[in-house]
Amino acid sequence: MSDLFDCMLIQWPDEQSAFNAAINENPANAGPSQGGRRKRSLVNYSKLWANGRSLKIAFMDTPPAEHKQKIIDAACRWLPYINLKFEFVDGIQGDIRISTNTGENSSMLGTDALLIHPDWPTMSLGVKPDHEDFEVIVTHEFGHALGAMHEHQHPKANIPWDKPKVYEFYRNREMNPINSEQVDWNLFTPFDTLEAIYTDYDRKSIMHHPVSNDLTLGNWENKINREISKKDKTLMRLLYPK
Ligand SMILES: [Zn+2]
């Protein structure tokens, strides 16, 4: 069974604090408040950084130069499509703080990073530089750090998951097993943010996990997407307009 891609998107558990941090950073995160079909609410807000700002990205555990450069190169794949600047630094002080020692791949979603204790990482990049999809995984995690959700959780995705099988697979796998609740959050629960309104579901998105045919009903699978898709570019341009 394929388990090519191991990523946990982490959101701050307290919605009120997450909402406050998001709105404080970028008031547009509340979404259109009048005349639209959206209301300001705790449910469907976004977690985008203030447009035009510079993000300080810290390497907390100073990986070897070549490893570090590969991370920087993968992160910078987003830059042509956003109105943000990246400033990479060594040390523990950054808006985004990377650890490469944790053995997992995960990121806080956008401004949720602001709520993490300043001594702790907001992004884990356990993937090794010799992994064939190192660049893809790092780019994907930076997509989350910019505020992008998992595309397989787009409200129009309608993936025919074989849910009992998915729970079993993730509970029993050797590396980083996760429980049913974590599976729900990371695979099944649809999102309702600006993304869902701006763009349609896109199976080619780099934010879409590969989906094994073994974990779906009928004949449905999605191969790993290695490129930033056309829709990914469109979305980022809408979220961070120049
Ligand atoms: Zn992910």
| Cα-to-centroid distance, 73 and ligand 1 (Å) | 18
| Cα-to-centroid distance, 130 and ligand 1 (Å) | 20
Q: Report if residue 3 sits inside a domain.
A: no
| Three-point CA angle 200, 109, 5, nearest 5° | 75
In tens, the pLDDT along 149-197 reads 999 999 999 999 999 999 999 999 888 888 999 999 889 999 877 777 7
CATH number of the domain where residue 179 is located? 3.40.390.10
Percent of the chain with pLDDT over 90: 76
The residue type of 228 is: I
| Cα-to-centroid distance, 29 and ligand 1 (Å) | 20
Q: What is the pLDDT of residue 38?
A: 46
Q: Report if residue 179 sits inside a domain.
A: yes
* pTM (global) more than 0.85: yes
Q: Report if residue 1 sits inside a domain.
A: no
| Cα-to-centroid distance, 135 and ligand 1 (Å) | 13
What is the band of 198 on the pLDDT scale with cuts at 50, 70, 90?
confident
Range of the domain at 221: 8-239
| Cα-to-centroid distance, 227 and ligand 1 (Å) | 14
Return the residue matching tokens 């993968």. 74
Alpha helical stretches, state H, the chain: 15-25, 65-75, 134-145, 163-172, 180-183, 194-198, 230-239
Q: Report if residue 48 sits inside a domain.
A: yes
In tens, the pLDDT along 8-61 reads 899 999 989 999 999 999 998 987 654 444 444 555 788 999 999 999 999 999
| Cα-to-centroid distance, 35 and ligand 1 (Å) | 33
Return the residue matching tokens 């190192």. 134
Per-residue b/e over 124-155, b at no fewer than 16 CB within 10 Å?
Answer: bbbbebeeeebbbbbbbbbbbbbbbbbbbbbe
Mean pLDDT, residues 94-110 taken together: 94
Q: What is the pLDDT of residue 102?
A: 85
Q: Report if residue 2 sits inside a domain.
A: no
* Listed range (41-50, 77-86, 210-219) with the worst mean pLDDT: 41-50
| Cα-to-centroid distance, 138 and ligand 1 (Å) | 10
Count: domains in the chain: 1
| Cα-to-centroid distance, 12 and ligand 1 (Å) | 15
What's the chain's average pLDDT?
90
